[in-house]
Every structure is written in structure tokens, then in C-alpha cells.
């Protein structure tokens, strides 16, 4: 063991008992609730997840309803959370659980790990929180907290470092409260031991045991290599309106935002003149074209730099829609039926 975390346990649990945030999935840690919340929390802050979680659980209250949900409904429920493969994997896993486990999540770490979309962290979180099994759940927050406490200069992006910490924590997990121990570490990272060199050490229950604090190393730990730069892509977004309906298009089933709906999108930033020329080429009955300004959307490896135009038509042909595989949908249909990713929110904002 590189550092003995045993000593922090009583202080951490005592702090958690008095400071844990009240969250719907903590109030009622049913395995299904813990699972859904952990998947949602992978890329989104707790405060933002609450609303999505309530909406999802109300629409799909159990594993069976998730397994049977229509894909369009599922994507719509995930709208705003991004990383849509996560919800597709949730459904695949729910279907497997229906088939192989009689509709109940397996109460063990290894079989959980075999389900689609469930990695070591999520399996550890579900196993410990929902089933009381003493296995660690090591995410970015836990890595940061532990590496600061132990004043370790390990590169926390390395799988070997994560695995070593997992093994260290596995040895000292309190058998009576494994779920609370994992959640306490995560919570400390989320609300006290904050990233980017700004932890609130004066509020920390383990400050007296924290080597980084005493050795003044906090600004240097955790160690992460500089990320590769994202690829920049220029796009032109068309908000095409005809009689209070809007043109949308279903993206390919492969790649970025697979299978979701989008506003008509063109490669490169086009000027208003270039857009008007394109519309003439398409032989559309144009009423007006107005620039909607610039917007940016950041994905994990790509950054879209967009220019938007609001185009009002006085007529639209079936042929035009068919040729481009476009669909004309009302504001209400877009709001309730078709999943339009956040990437377009700067332009679709007027009906949201
Ligand atoms: Fe993090 Fe500061 Fe607590 Fe150390 S003392 S664990 S750096 S909050």
C-alpha cells in the first residue's frame, strides 16, 4: 500500500453524516435509482442532474419500462445531458437484466461490470451504495482527494494509478458503511476539495491528515498531462421556418450525436450572401433571411464554431424535404417528440 487511508475514515464519515447533500437517489438508494443517477452524473453536475433524474424516473420508473422504451422517447428524456451513447447503453443493459437477471440488477460487482455502459467506477458505486458491498468507486473526485491527502505526484489520468488506488481503498473499506465511505470521498471532492487549486481546506474534515496541505503542495496536485487540443469545425446552422413549423433532419446512426435530430447544418461558415445563393439553388420561396449570430458548442474532442441564419419561407415543397431527408415539425413536436441536442440551443432557443 502506498498510503494508508485507514485514518481518514472516522473523520470522513462523521463529516458526511452532517454535510451530505440531500439528493433524490440518496434518499431512496434503490439499485435502479443509483444506477441512473451515476450514469447521469458522469458528465454533468449534481445540481443539473436532479431535474433530469426526476423527469427520467417519472417517465421510466423501473428497469422493465427502460428496457421497453421507444428509442425516440429515450433520446428525448436524455436531451440536455449529451453523450447519448450512455442512454443507449442503459437500455441495452436493462434489456440484458430483464433477460438474464429476472429484471433485477445483479447484487455483485463482477456481473455489474459486465453490463453495457457500466465500468469499474459505476459498478463500485452501485455495488457499495445500493447493495452494501465493500468495493471502491474511484472517479476523478476520489482520485483528486486521495492524491492530495497522500501528496502523490502520480499522473491521475493513468489507468495503473487508478487501479492502484482502487486496491489501496479496497483494503480499508469500512465493511459496515462502504456506500457512505465512497459517497463521502466523492462528496468531499465535489464540495470541499475542489479542482484547479482552489480547495476549501478550512472546511475539510481531514485537513490534519492531509500531506499536501501541510507540505503546501495543493496547487501542484493532482498531476494531469496537458490535454490535446480539440479539433475546431466551422458550421452554418439554418433555422428554416414555414408556417410556424421548422425544418429538422435526423443525423446518421453512426458518429457524433448519432441518430439525434438537428437543424439543417452546412460545413464551413457561410456569409449571408452564400446562404441566400444556396437557398436560390434549392428553389425555395424565400420571405426573409436574418443572421442569428455566432455560437460555440464544445464536445469532448471537437469544438463547433457556428453561424446561424433564420430563414422564413412563404412556400415549401415535398420534393425539397424528400431530397434532403428533412422533416417539417411544429415547435410542440420538437419540444416533446424529437431530441434536438444542446449544440443547437443558441438557435432553437426561441421556441424552447
Ligand atoms: Fe483537499 Fe484541502 Fe482537504 Fe487536503 S485539506 S483533502 S487539499 S480540501
The domain segmentation of the chain, as residue ranges, is 6-220, 231-348
Instruction: List, as own/partner pairs, every contact residues 151-159 make where C-beta atoms lie below 8 angstroms and the sequence separation is at least 24, other chains included.
Output: 151/211, 151/212, 151/215, 151/217, 151/221, 152/2, 152/3, 152/221, 153/220, 153/221, 153/223, 154/223, 155/223, 155/224, 155/225, 156/222, 156/223, 156/224, 157/224, 157/225
Q: What is the largest CA-CA distance in the chain?
A: 74
- The string of DSSP letters for 327-346 reads EEEEHHHHHHTS---GGGHH
Q: Which CATH number fits domain 231-348: 3.40.190.10, 3.40.718.10, 3.90.79.10, 3.30.2020.30?
A: 3.90.79.10
Lookup: cell for 264: 439543417
142 within ligand 1 shell (Cβ under 6 A): no
Atom of ligand 1 at shortest range from CA of 200: 8
Residue 18 Cα, ligand 1 centroid: separation in angstroms?
18
User: Given 38, 79, 241, 262, which residue is catalytic?
Assistant: 38
The pLDDT of residue 351 is 52
Lookup: cell for 54: 426526476
Which residues in the chain land under pLDDT 50? 352
Please give the Cα distance from 25 to 23 (Å, whole number): 6
76 within ligand 1 shell (Cβ under 6 A): no
Please give the Cα distance from 144 to 150 (Å, whole number): 10
240 within ligand 1 shell (Cβ under 6 A): no
Lookup: cell for 42: 458522469
Nearest residue by C-alpha to atom 1 in ligand 1: 193
204 within ligand 1 shell (Cβ under 6 A): yes
> What's the sign of the alpha-carbon dihedral 203, 208, 214, 219?
negative
Instruction: List, as own/partner pairs, every contact residues 348-352 make where C-beta atoms lie below 8 angstroms and the sequence separation is at least 24, other chains included.
Output: 348/239, 348/246, 348/263, 351/246
Over the stretch 210-267, which tens digit does the pLDDT of each residue have?
A: 999 999 999 999 999 877 789 999 999 999 999 989 999 999 988 899 889 999 999 9
Tell whether pTM > 0.75: yes
Residue 156 Cα, ligand 1 centroid: separation in angstroms?
17
148 within ligand 1 shell (Cβ under 6 A): yes
210 within ligand 1 shell (Cβ under 6 A): yes
- Is the separation of the CB atoms in 112 and 127 below 8 Å? yes
145 within ligand 1 shell (Cβ under 6 A): yes
Residue 149 Cα, ligand 1 centroid: separation in angstroms?
6
Cα–Cα distances in angstroms (integers) from residue 74 to residues 65, 155, 286, 343, in the given order: 10, 37, 36, 18
- Is the separation of the CB atoms in 233 and 302 below 8 Å? yes
Lookup: cell for 142: 476520489
Q: Tell me if domain 6-220 and domain 231-348 are identical in fold.
A: no
Does 38 participate in catalysis according to the annotation? yes
For cell 481531514, the residue is 206
212 within ligand 1 shell (Cβ under 6 A): yes
* Beta bridge pairs of residue 310: 239, 290
Span 6-220 CATH architecture:
Orthogonal Bundle (1.10)
Q: Where are the beta strands (DSSP E) in the chain?
A: 231-242, 245-250, 261-262, 265-267, 285-298, 302-315, 326-330
Residue 204 Cα, ligand 1 centroid: separation in angstroms?
6
Q: Which of 204, 214, 222 to mutate to test the pocket of ligand 1 (most atoms within 8 A of CB)?
A: 204
Phi, psi (degrees; rounded to nearest 5) at 155: -75, 110
The pLDDT of residue 352 is 45
The pLDDT of residue 349 is 67
Q: Which of 192, 198, 200, 208 to mutate to test the pocket of ligand 1 (most atoms within 8 A of CB)?
A: 192
Amino acid at each position: 500500500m502506498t498510503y494508508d487511508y485507514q485514518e481518514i475514515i472516522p473523520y470522513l464519515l462523521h463529516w458526511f453524516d452532517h454535510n451530505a447533500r440531500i439528493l433524490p437517489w440518496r434518499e431512496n438508494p434503490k439499485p435502479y435509482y443509483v444506477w441512473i443517477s451515476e450514469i447521469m452524473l458522469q458528465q454533468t453536475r449534481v445540481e443539473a442532474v436532479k431535474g433530469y433524474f426526476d423527469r427520467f424516473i417519472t417517465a421510466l420508473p423501473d428497469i422493465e419500462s427502460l428496457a421497453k422504451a421507444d428509442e425516440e422517447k429515450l433520446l428525448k428524456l436524455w436531451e440536455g445531458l449529451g453523450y447519448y451513447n450512455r442512454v443507449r447503453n442503459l437500455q441495452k443493459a436493462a434489456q440484458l437484466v430483464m433477460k438474464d437477471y429476472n429484471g433485477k440488477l445483479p447484487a455483485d460487482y463482477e456481473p455489474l461490470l459486465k453490463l453495457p455502459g457500466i465500468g469499474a467506477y459505476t459498478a463500485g458505486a452501485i455495488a457499495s451504495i445500493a447493495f452494501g458491498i465493500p468495493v471502491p468507486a474511484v472517479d476523478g473526485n476520489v482520485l483528486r482527494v486521495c492524491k492530495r491527502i497522500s501528496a502523490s505526484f502520480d499522473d491521475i489520468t493513468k489507468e495503473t494509478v487508478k487501479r492502484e488506488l482502487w486496491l489501496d481503498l479496497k483494503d480499508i473499506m469500512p465493511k459496515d458503511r462502504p456506500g457512505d465511505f465512497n459517497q463521502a470521498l466523492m462528496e468531499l471532492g465535489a464540495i470541499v476539495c475542489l479542482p484547479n487549486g482552489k480547495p476549501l481546506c478550512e472546511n475539510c474534515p481531514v485537513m490534519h491528515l492531509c500531506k499536501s496541505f501541510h507540505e503546501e503542495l495543493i496547487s501542484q496536485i493532482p498531476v494531469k498531462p496537458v490535454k490535446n487540443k480539440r479539433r475546431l469545425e466551422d458550421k452554418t446552422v439554418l433555422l428554416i421556418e414555414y408556417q410556424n413549423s421548422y425544418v429538422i433532419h435526423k443525423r446518421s446512426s453512426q458518429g457524433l450525436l448519432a441518430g439525434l435530430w438537428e437543424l439543417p447544418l452546412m460545413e464551413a461558415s457561410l456569409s449571408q450572401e452564400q446562404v441566400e445563393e444556396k437557398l436560390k439553388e434549392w428553389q425555395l420561396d424565400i420571405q426573409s433571411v436574418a443572421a442569428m449570430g455566432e455560437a460555440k458548442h464544445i464536445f469532448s474532442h471537437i469544438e463547433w464554431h457556428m453561424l446561424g441564419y433564420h430563414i422564413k419561407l412563404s412556400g415549401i415543397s415535398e420534393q425539397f424535404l424528400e431530397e434532403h431527408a428533412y422533416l417539417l415539425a411544429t415547435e410542440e413536436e420538437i419540444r416533446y417528440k424529437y431530441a434536438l441536442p444542446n449544440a443547437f440551443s443558441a438557435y432553437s432557443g426561441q421556441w424552447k
